[in-house]
Structure 1
Amino acid sequence: MRIRAAVLRQSPISGPYATTTPLSIEDLWLDDPGPGEVLVRVDAAGLCHSDLSVVDGNRPRPLPMALGHEAAGTVLEVGVGVYDVRPGDRVVLVYVPSCGVCRYCGSGRPALCPAAATANGCGALIRGGSRLRDATGADVRHHLGVSGFATHSVVDRNSLVVIGADVPADVAALFGCAMLTGFGAVVHTAAVRPGDSVAVFGLGGVGQAAVMAAVAAGAYPVVAVDPVGDKQKLALDLGASHVGPPDVAASLVKEASPGGVDWAFEVVGSAAVLESAYAVTGRGGTAVAVGLPHPDTRVSLPVLDIVAGNRGILGSYMGSAQPQLDIPAMIALWRAGRLPVDRLKSTELPLSDINSALDALAGGAAVRQIVVPT
Structure 2
Amino acid sequence: MRTALAAVLYESGKPMVIEEVTVLPPQAGEVTVRMKAAGVCHSDLHVIKGDLPMTCPIILGHEGAGIVEEVGAGVTSVQPGDHVIPIWRASCGRCEYCLNGRPALCDMGTAMRFTGTMPDGQTRFRNGLGDSIRHYAGVSTFSSLSTMPEAAVVKIDADFPLWKAALIGCGVITGVGAVTYAARVMPGTTVAVYGCGGIGLNIIQGAKLVSASQIIAVDTKANKETWARQMGATHFVDASQGDPVQAVRDLTKGRGVDYAFEAVGLPQPIEQAYDSVRKGGTCVVSGICRADARAAINVNQLVYAEKTLKGTLYGSARPRIDLIHLIAMHRQGHLLLDELLTRTYPLEQINEAYESLERGEVARSLILWE
TM superposition score category, shorter chain reference: over 0.9
CA–CA separation in structure 2 for the residues paired with 1:64 and 1:172: 28
1:331 shift after superposition: 0.8
Look up the equivalent residue of 1:370 and give its one-letter code: L
8 A Cα contact 2:112 2:136, kept in partner: no
8 A Cα contact 2:88 2:109, kept in partner: no
Query: Given the alignment, which residue of 142, 152, 157 partners 1:164?
Result: 157
| In the alignment, structure 1 residue 5 sits paired with structure 2 residue 6 | yes
| In the alignment, structure 1 residue 65 sits paired with structure 2 residue 65 | no
Matches within 5 A, 1:146-185: 146-185=139-178
* Secondary structure of the corresponding residue to residue 32 of structure 1: coil
- For residue 99 of structure 2, what is the aligned residue in structure 1? 106
- For residue 122 of structure 1, what is the aligned residue in structure 2? 115
1:139 shift after superposition: 0.7
Query: Given the alignment, which residue of 337, 343, 348 partners 2:339?
Result: 343
- For residue 248 of structure 2, what is the aligned residue in structure 1? 253
Aligned-residue sequence identity (percent) comes to 40
| In the alignment, structure 1 residue 198 sits paired with structure 2 residue 191 | yes
Please list the CA deviations of residues 33-72 of structure 1 after superposition, one character each: whole Å capped at 9, or x if unmatched. 1111111110001100111111111111111001111000
CA–CA separation in structure 1 for the residues paired with 2:259 and 2:128: 50
8 A Cα contact 1:46 1:369, kept in partner: yes
- For residue 274 of structure 2, what is the aligned residue in structure 1? 278
- For residue 145 of structure 1, what is the aligned residue in structure 2? 138
- For residue 45 of structure 2, what is the aligned residue in structure 1? 52
- For residue 368 of structure 1, what is the aligned residue in structure 2? 364
TM-score (norm 1): 0.95
- For residue 16 of structure 1, what is the aligned residue in structure 2? none
CA–CA separation in structure 2 for the residues paired with 1:127 and 1:110: 20
- For residue 86 of structure 2, what is the aligned residue in structure 1? 93
8 A Cα contact 2:202 2:231, kept in partner: no
Query: Given the alignment, which residue of 284, 302, 308 partners 1:306?
Result: 302
CA–CA separation in structure 2 for the residues paired with 1:45 and 1:248: 36
- For residue 19 of structure 1, what is the aligned residue in structure 2? none
1:256 shift after superposition: 3.1
Please list the CA deviations of residues 137-165 of structure 1 after superposition, one character each: whole Å capped at 9, or x if unmatched. 11100011111111111111111111112
8 A Cα contact 1:228 1:365, kept in partner: no
* Secondary structure of the corresponding residue to residue 177 of structure 1: helix
What's the RMSD between the two structures over aligned residues?
1.2
CA–CA separation in structure 2 for the residues paired with 1:127 and 1:107: 25
CA–CA separation in structure 2 for the residues paired with 1:367 and 1:283: 32
CA–CA separation in structure 1 for the residues paired with 2:327 and 2:300: 43
Please list the CA deviations of residues 16-47 of structure 1 after superposition, one character each: whole Å capped at 9, or x if unmatched. xxxxxx11011111111111111111000110
8 A Cα contact 1:180 1:327, kept in partner: yes
CA–CA separation in structure 2 for the residues paired with 1:304 and 1:248: 22
CA–CA separation in structure 2 for the residues paired with 1:103 and 1:178: 26
Look up the equivalent residue of 1:338 and give its one-letter code: H
* Secondary structure of the corresponding residue to residue 101 of structure 1: coil
8 A Cα contact 1:97 1:126, kept in partner: no
CA–CA separation in structure 2 for the residues paired with 1:123 and 1:275: 32
8 A Cα contact 2:191 2:215, kept in partner: yes
Look up the equivalent residue of 1:207 and give its one-letter code: G
CA–CA separation in structure 2 for the residues paired with 1:367 and 1:142: 26
CA–CA separation in structure 2 for the residues paired with 1:256 and 1:126: 49
CA–CA separation in structure 1 for the residues paired with 2:186 and 2:71: 41
Look up the equivalent residue of 1:135 and give its one-letter code: G
Query: Given the alignment, which residue of 282, 289, 295 partners 2:291?
Result: 295
| In the alignment, structure 1 residue 321 sits paired with structure 2 residue 310 | no
8 A Cα contact 1:182 1:208, kept in partner: yes
Moved more, 254-263 or 69-78: 254-263
Please list the CA deviations of residues 114-139 of structure 1 after superposition, one character each: whole Å capped at 9, or x if unmatched. 22211210101234321111111111
CA–CA separation in structure 2 for the residues paired with 1:38 and 1:135: 23
- Structure 2 segments unaligned to the other structure (5+ residues): none
1:105 shift after superposition: 1.1
| In the alignment, structure 1 residue 37 sits paired with structure 2 residue 30 | yes
CA–CA separation in structure 1 for the residues paired with 2:82 and 2:158: 8
8 A Cα contact 2:248 2:276, kept in partner: yes
1:108 shift after superposition: 1.1
Look up the equivalent residue of 2:356 and give its one-letter code: A
CA–CA separation in structure 1 for the residues paired with 2:246 and 2:294: 26
* Secondary structure of the corresponding residue to residue 22 of structure 2: strand
8 A Cα contact 2:191 2:260, kept in partner: yes
CA–CA separation in structure 1 for the residues paired with 2:164 and 2:187: 27
1:248 shift after superposition: 4.8
Look up the equivalent residue of 1:11 and give its one-letter code: S
Look up the equivalent residue of 1:186 and give its one-letter code: V
8 A Cα contact 1:44 1:373, kept in partner: yes
8 A Cα contact 1:150 1:373, kept in partner: no
Please list the CA deviations of residues 64-87 of structure 1 after superposition, one character each: whole Å capped at 9, or x if unmatched. 001111000011111111112121
1:229 shift after superposition: 2.7
1:249 shift after superposition: 2.3
CA–CA separation in structure 1 for the residues paired with 2:196 and 2:149: 31
* Secondary structure of the corresponding residue to residue 279 of structure 2: strand
8 A Cα contact 1:99 1:126, kept in partner: no
* Secondary structure of the corresponding residue to residue 52 of structure 1: helix
8 A Cα contact 1:203 1:224, kept in partner: yes
